[in-house]
Amino acid sequence: MSKTKVSIIGGAGYGAAEILRHLVMRDDVEILRISSKDHVGEPAGQVHRTLYGYTDLVLEDLPVADAVKGADIVFLAMPHKVTAHVIKDHLDDGFRVIDLSGDFRLRNLVDYQRDYAPEHPCPDRLGTFVYGLPELFRDQIKTATHVASPGCFATTITLGLLPLAQAGLLKGTNVRTVAMTGSSGSGVRPSAGTHHPVRHNNLKAYKVLHHQHRAEILQTLGDAGASQVSLDFVPVSAPLSRGILAISQVDLPDGHDRASLQKLYEDTYKAAEVVTVLPAGTSPEVNAVAGTCRVEVSIEVRTDEETGKRTLCCMSALDNLIKGGAGQAIQSFNLMTGSDEGRGLSLPGMWP
């Protein structure tokens, strides 16, 4: 069996840990090297303790040309605003790329400048990456040279709304979303807002109505058919290590009731590898999907007895580091290499 040769740039973070966890056991993958600016010279199994005994790889501080030498696919697991600077001169060097940062997700430079940085180091590359959401762009990912893997909030919220967008039921609609996330989404380095003593037993809204994933969500919903949709998004810091629960509310479209929308969701995701539409009366739970690439989605409907106004609530939950990060990148990797999309990802969650 020929093996796909892989390199990872940005090997010290949680994203790289999950990429390695999902690849080190596979007999169709050869991991060539792990490049990193941190923990240089340390074994990967000491930097990422769950890998101890599974790999002899060592983190190395390598020039990009050396890091990618001989690789078929390169995972970029560096922070936003760093990735584009590091990789911009090597995107046409003959290897395929799966980028976990936000540097190439947006097509509009103005959106990037507003949400990430005043300047982009290679703005001509915006719009040239395939957006790595298999539930919407499966065929494009298969043949892509460069894939921009989606953000964690963006994945969670989009998958909760995607059936409505594809059915044309979000046109001219305002979506109101609150989503709670675990601390691992802030990265491996602690900060004043993510340090465990202040996050434990605490809930806090942040970047209210101005989170950087908002433009990404609107762009993707537009690609799915939702024109003139607006989004009011409030992210909440939750006392969890892993997981996101998103709750979106929209006005119920005319001509639809709960039963018809349940069928719409089930039909949309019937062929999805990792998305489960829950039955009526069942809500997604983070514990049910933590540690997996699975997504739980459900809906509920309420009619106001006085005004007759009908509200549709769309709920979705996933693990921000897996389906919201590295696991979704592995889905793209599988598609790009001709493997089954869910290879190495089809595991049930842990309970409790």
Q: Which two tokens stand for residue 304?
A: 């106001």
Residue pair 108/102 in contact (Cβ under 8 Å)? The answer is: no
Q: Which residues contact 121 (CB under 8 A, 6 or more apart)?
A: 84, 85, 88
90-112 burial, b if ≥16 CB within 10 A, otherwise e?
Answer: bbeeebbbbbbbbbbbbbeeebb
3-state helix, strand, coil in the chain (%, to 5): 30, 20, 45
Q: Where are the beta strands (DSSP E) in 20-88?
A: 29-35, 59-60, 73-76
Burial (CB < 10 A; 0-12, 13-18, 19+), residue 161, is: buried
The residues annotated with a catalytic role in the active site are 152
CA distance 103 to 116: 8
Lookup result for tokens 């690789």: 71
What is the residue whose two structure tokens read 């009011």? 232
Within 8 A by CB and 6+ apart from 262, the residues are 277, 280, 299
